[in-house]
Structure 1
Amino acid sequence: MTDQTSVLRGRRSGIEPVSVFDDVRDDEHPRTAELRRWAVDFLCRPHDELGRSGAVCPFAAPSIGRGLFYAVFVPGAVGAQRMRDVADDLAELFPHLSPASGPDAALKSVVAVFPDVTDYDVIDLVQNERKSEFVLDGLMLGQFYPGCTVSGLRNSAFRALDAPLPMLAVRHMVGSDFPFLASQREWVLAYLKKFAASVPSMVRADIADRVMMS
């Protein structure tokens, strides 16, 4: 488990991520319990419409189990620039969240929750603007919000990013992320830089197929 007291503070936005599966904090946001329920009951479990076996997010359970699922709530009206500042601080702080090194460091994840945001276009905007910066650092930046229509990888009808709270989520890039990165050359290069020595066979085949089609 990690120390629930954050020692890191975003220099632009003032955010201070904390591990939300440590002991309940007296000062935690009222919707933290809702975030925990969604993470456990949705991300960590199989779903009939997912299109494959296993949890919706295979990354979530190990992250939660080791106390490495961090979150920060950013209340109030949040416009695009404020959200950009939060995203930039997430990128800057993420490598320094405990643990900074060792095997468990790869299991860290952090979500910035915007509980009062109702214009979800701003989340898509910032995620699209900042994704490349995260990918080039070996990270993934995802968007979640109520009614998000982004299709699932194996079932176009499945809405994996439909969540009860508006969020931006950050985690380390993993080998199975290639399909999410194949649309841009710089993303593919960042992926190969990180995984060239251990690209899964199915992904190598996918890369070959895409090259043949280009």
Structure 2
Amino acid sequence: MPRLGSHASSLWTGSIRLGPAVKRYLVDNDLPLKALLLLDNAPAHPPGLEDDLLEEFSFIKIMFLPPNTTPVLQPMDQQVIVNFKKRYTKELFRCCFEVTDTTNLTLLEFWREHFDIVICLKLITMAWDGISQRNLNSAWLNLWPECVATGVSALAPESRVMEDIVALGRNMDFEVTEDICELVEGHNQDLSTQELFELQAEVTEEQEEEPGEEQLSTSELKLLHQ
């Protein structure tokens, strides 16, 4: 089913997008007209969303996860997002290393002048392709264990990917391994607005202290990586 990339408020108005998209998917795949939309219990998802659906889309049921249970129950939070972001970091580092190793570009020149949305989307595709169907199935273990295939266990952190990231970082002469670990492990939590301001200040200070430096700092990479 295609991703619905609209703001929540416009998504529900008149069921313009959600209802037709779900119905079309079910009909095209010869599936019963039954659908469950499971949402986080968050202010952006107020109660009564089901009332905004048109009558012809009443087959869509909306349920909310219990408050403060997202880290435990939400399928994508069961190592799927974290492992995806680790794989993205690995592909990003690999791309940077290959470019700087095979061209005359410095890492800073590549990052600031040549890294674009097309390259980013390709890296996202490669990272997501690394998440297997088994991984996605195991993510439902806490919320809906009956749908998890026999023998499938909870998804564990991918230590090998982390080792690859560290090795690639060393090949690009990143000075401190711990900085790379912090960059990757920091994907477990989003930075707050205050933390982003502090990180930006750190990057600015580094640039002022080393005006002739051609190396992309880990702090700058971390900021641009959010």
Q: TM-score range by the shorter chain?
A: under 0.3
Bigger Rg over Cα: 2
* Bigger strand share: 1
